[in-house]
Chain A
Amino acid sequence: MLAFEASPAAADTATFRHPAGPASHAMDDVYRAVLGVTVTIFVLVGGWLLYSALRFRVRPGEPDVEPPQVRGSFRLELGWTIAPVLVLVALAAYTLDNVGTVKNAPSSSMVVNVKAQQFSFTYLYGAKSGASGKAPSTPSTLVVPVDTPVKLLVRSIDVDHDWWVPALGPKIDAIPGQTNTTWFQADHTGTYTGQCAEFCGLGHATMTITVKVVSQTDWNAYTAKLART
């Protein structure tokens, strides 16, 4: 039996708001930026809406006077067109800054081949993995070392699927006929779970993903054992 380091409890239930590696951290950073901006806009504009609705209500007993029939304001149109553009440009720029971390596997990445099918994901270590051509001891569980970039080459043999472990990084579709690439690096040992995120038929709801992140020591022992089998 392999011994895994005890994981912090947070790692098991790690969500987008508890990212567990650089890729998901970068996604989380972009998320927080957008959250800050959108909540601000909601408070300001929603507040303006609510204020208008309450302040300009007709109250019983008020004189029946027609309000000024204002048809528009070019300055306002210009202002409230340009301001959103500036906000969005800023958000886009910040997002673009993080795209590389989210998408690009470092060249030193360990390679794992992911095969998706109805209804499981199975894994095979690629040439750079130290256990080349071998499946993890539990083929539907992916075992990887901590603090190591892992590049996933994802394909499907039947219908569209999607590999998604929220804590670790972006999701990626498994499309038959092509190989898609994604990557992650886990900063902490532990077990990370996810599931298929592209509707793939009757077993879609239970097509789970388990990633076991182990210490370097445990990983060396593990790959040595795999090499012998």
Chain B
Amino acid sequence: MVTEAHTTPHAATAPPATGLWSWVTTVDHKRIGIMYLYTTFFFFAVGGLMALAIRLQLEHANNQVVSAESYDRLFTMHGTTMIFLFVIPVMAAFGNYLVPLQIGARDMAFPRLNAASYWLVLFGGIVMYSSFAWGGGAADAGWTAYPPLSVLSPGHGLDLWIVGLHILGLASLLGAINFICTIHNMRAPGMRLTRMPLFTWAIDIYAVMLVVSGPVFAGALTLLLMDRNYGTSFYQPATHGPILYQHLFWFYSHPVVYVMALPGFGMISEIVPVFSRKPLFGYKALVYSLVAIAFLGFLVWGHHMFAVGFSTPLQIWFMIASMAIGVPTGVKIFNWIGTMWMGRIRFEPPMLYAVAFVGLFMIGGLSGIFVAAFPIDLYVTDSYFVVAHFHYVLGTVPVFAVLGGLHFWYPKMSGRMLDRALAIRAFWIIFVGFNMTFFPMHDLGLSGMPRRVSTYTNHAWDAANLISTIGAFVLATGVLMVLWNCLHSLRVGRIAPADPWGANSLEWYTSSPPPPHNFDELPPIRSERPLYDLRREAAGAPAATGD
């Protein structure tokens, strides 16, 4: 199962330069990917600390751990950080590292633009966070920043927030363009689109969605910045400005949830076949479902606006379209389980995360049916039910899919193996903590607890909130264990071979970590599992009949 690297020492290749300056000036997609990882996980930790503060405040009724003002900034920056400084760029992190390798390329189409994208992410984060120190405090109108409240928000926190988002938006747009060009122009001979790893497919679609929707968000934010600072009145009530904003905002922000989810799906699609020792079941169906989800994702934004005063026909359209997304999503879940079916499953840490993801994401998808049915949504929207829903669909992506991917690709990136026992313990703690934190929120919403409340008076909500708070600390403990494992194993982990898992795609062909130029040579690419085919041939079996 474990194979050695297929790279030969190349006399003319110098070993990768070390030292801080070589990292600062790098244009190597692998190093850029690693820098993205450090930065995004840093922001994950910061966003997580904010979540813990929120949970401490909500632990019981009438609590006073933080002021209402601070609370409003906390939930605003928690959401903003997790979405724009963690989940969206962490996909770029893995995409950057893996896509050139997975398609057999030497680097991205535009290596220097790639580096610029990373530095823009860091810069955007710094600009946004500077609002904590000056400008009158951080943004406090929710990550959604609806006018008129966001126009009226005093100080410059919201302006720094907007500018920070513009910078991050530019970073992700440039990154998206880079990914699309790379995937469409730089594939190795034999790497047809129908043989590409699902993760690369997912990144391609992630990038297309960002190019289409990102600029709309930038436009919406620009109008807001102008209303706040330059005396314009685009969002004035008299011309339905508040509704205009919501349309523009959600036209981007709904697709963006699929931007966040699809690469996660891609990771699961990489992990499950390897640890089931079978090909991905329904490769084509999985690709079509990614495309269907992306397409439908642009048609449903109004389901965030069911309560704004829409006509019934409009509500019906958005309901039907939102329910429709359940179909390709279900197809994915069935195909993943179909991959496991009659396989020979090894529960290495990546597989634990992947299986947990499938089950927990399904809970989120099912709660999505409730919110899609607008008579129900008019009860649960803006309540903790919806908070539960989106954490089960959007929180499972970074916590289970991404951590699964992190465990899977860690050996490739670092050249070391993680501590397996610690990884498994951390997984279970995360699994329990995640569910303790978010499952009770379904009940809280159904019991009438609205979201974005700095405190509450109804003691009937105390018990569920307490469980959720404890769960958050359990979850945080598990995540800390994972981070510790990653950092500690860099120094003491067992040396990793090229392919510790018996995997299928091209990144596993080269050494762990790969040399700067990625590949000295490539195996023949005749299916979506070139490494599997190579192993079969080496074992004397006839050549694969892939696609």
Direct touching of A and B (C-beta under 8 Å) = yes
Q: What is the interface of chain A, defined by CB distance below 8 A to chain B?
A: 13, 15-17, 24, 26-27, 30-31, 34-35, 37-38, 41-42, 45-46, 48-50, 52-53, 56-58, 62, 65-73, 76-77, 80-81, 84-85, 88, 91-92, 95-96, 98-99, 102-103, 158-160, 162, 164, 166, 170-173, 175-178, 180-181, 194-206
Return the contact of A171 from the options B279, B344, B362, B382 (Cβ within 8 A). B382
- Chain B residues within 8 Å of A70, by CB: 278-279, 281, 342
CA distance A195 to B52 in the complex (A): 25
| Total number of residue pairs linking A and B with CB closer than 8 Å | 236
Name the 3 nearest CB pairs between A and B, nearest first. A177-B237, A170-B378, A176-B237
Mark each residue of chain B from 248 to 287: 1 if its CB lies under 8 Å from any CB of chain A, else 0: 0000000000000000000000000000111111111100
Given A13-B460, A71-B281, A91-B323, check contact A81 B331 (CB 8 Å).
yes
B342 and A177 contact, CB distance less than 8 A: no
A95 and B278 contact, CB distance less than 8 A: no
CA distance A62 to B112 in the complex (A): 51
Task: Tell me the nearest residue of chain B to A35, going by C-beta.
Answer: B370
- Chain B residues within 8 Å of A201, by CB: 72, 149
B12 to chain A, nearest CB (A): 40
Return the contact of B362 from the options A46, A53, A62 (Cβ within 8 A). A46
A102 and B341 contact, CB distance less than 8 A: no
- Chain A residues within 8 Å of B370, by CB: 31, 34-35, 38
A56 and B382 contact, CB distance less than 8 A: no
**Interface-lining segment among B172-180, B196-204, B443-451:** B443-451
- Chain B residues within 8 Å of A81, by CB: 327, 331
A56 and B448 contact, CB distance less than 8 A: no
A199 and B379 contact, CB distance less than 8 A: no
B307 and A45 contact, CB distance less than 8 A: no
Given A71-B283, A84-B326, A196-B450, check contact A162 B376 (CB 8 Å).
no
Return the contact of A172 from the options B146, B307, B323 (Cβ within 8 A). B307
6 examples of A-B residue contacts, CB within 8 angstroms? A34-B370, A42-B366, A84-B326, A88-B323, A92-B373, A164-B450
A56 and B276 contact, CB distance less than 8 A: yes
- Chain A residues within 8 Å of B456, by CB: 205
CA distance A77 to B331 in the complex (A): 7
B331 and A49 contact, CB distance less than 8 A: no
Given A17-B446, A162-B307, check contact A67 B346 (CB 8 Å).
no
B381 and A68 contact, CB distance less than 8 A: no
Which residues of chain B from 444 to 502 have any CB-CB distance to chain A below 8 Å in the complex?
A: 446-448, 450-457, 460
- Chain A residues within 8 Å of B334, by CB: 45, 76, 80
A102 and B375 contact, CB distance less than 8 A: yes
Q: Could you say which of A76, A178, A197 has the most chain B C-beta atoms within 10 Å of its C-beta?
A: A197
Return the contact of A57 from the options B316, B338, B347 (Cβ within 8 A). B347
B375 and A197 contact, CB distance less than 8 A: no
- Chain B residues within 8 Å of A158, by CB: 148, 152
A91 and B343 contact, CB distance less than 8 A: no
B374 to chain A, nearest CB (A): 8
Is the C-beta of B523 less than 8 angstroms from some C-beta in chain A? no
B69 and A197 contact, CB distance less than 8 A: no
A160 and B149 contact, CB distance less than 8 A: yes
- Chain A residues within 8 Å of B359, by CB: 46, 49-50
B376 and A27 contact, CB distance less than 8 A: yes
Task: Tell me the nearest residue of chain B to A94, going by C-beta.
Answer: B373
A157 to chain B, nearest CB (A): 9
B420 to chain A, nearest CB (A): 15
B446 and A67 contact, CB distance less than 8 A: no
A98 to chain B, nearest CB (A): 6
Which residues of chain B from 407 to 465 have any CB-CB distance to chain A below 8 Å in the complex?
A: 446-448, 450-457, 460
Which residues of chain B from 50 to 81 have any CB-CB distance to chain A below 8 Å in the complex?
A: 68-69, 72
- Chain B residues within 8 Å of A37, by CB: 369
Is the C-beta of B309 less than 8 angstroms from some C-beta in chain A? yes
For the complex with contacts A34-B370, A159-B149, A177-B240, 6 further pairs of A-B residues with Cβ separation under 8 Å are: A15-B447, A16-B446, A41-B366, A73-B282, A88-B327, A180-B308
Mark each residue of chain B from 277 to 312: 1 if its CB lies under 8 Å from any CB of chain A, else 0: 111111111000000000000000000000111001
Is the C-beta of B239 less than 8 angstroms from some C-beta in chain A? yes
Given A38-B366, A49-B359, check contact A177 B341 (CB 8 Å).
no
A45 and B236 contact, CB distance less than 8 A: no
Task: Tell me the nearest residue of chain B to A85, going by C-beta.
Answer: B327
Given A71-B279, A160-B148, check contact A177 B238 (CB 8 Å).
yes
A42 to chain B, nearest CB (A): 6
- Chain A residues within 8 Å of B340, by CB: 49, 52-53, 56
A57 and B345 contact, CB distance less than 8 A: yes
A98 and B375 contact, CB distance less than 8 A: yes
Return the contact of B146 from the options A71, A160, A202 (Cβ within 8 A). A160
- Chain A residues within 8 Å of B446, by CB: 15-17
Return the contact of A76 from the options B238, B338, B358, B380 (Cβ within 8 A). B338
- Chain B residues within 8 Å of A176, by CB: 148, 237, 242
CA distance A35 to B450 in the complex (A): 21
B455 and A92 contact, CB distance less than 8 A: no
B378 and A102 contact, CB distance less than 8 A: yes
Task: Tell me the nearest residue of chain A to B236, going by C-beta.
Answer: A177
Is the C-beta of B83 less than 8 angstroms from some C-beta in chain A? no
Is the C-beta of B383 less than 8 angstroms from some C-beta in chain A? yes
Return the contact of A99 from the options B237, B312, B327, B346 (Cβ within 8 A). B312
CA distance A46 to B359 in the complex (A): 6
Given A16-B446, A38-B366, A102-B378, check contact A177 B239 (CB 8 Å).
yes
A53 and B278 contact, CB distance less than 8 A: no
CA distance A199 to B365 in the complex (A): 25
- Chain A residues within 8 Å of B330, by CB: 80, 84
- Chain A residues within 8 Å of B343, by CB: 56, 67
A92 and B450 contact, CB distance less than 8 A: no
CA distance A48 to B339 in the complex (A): 12
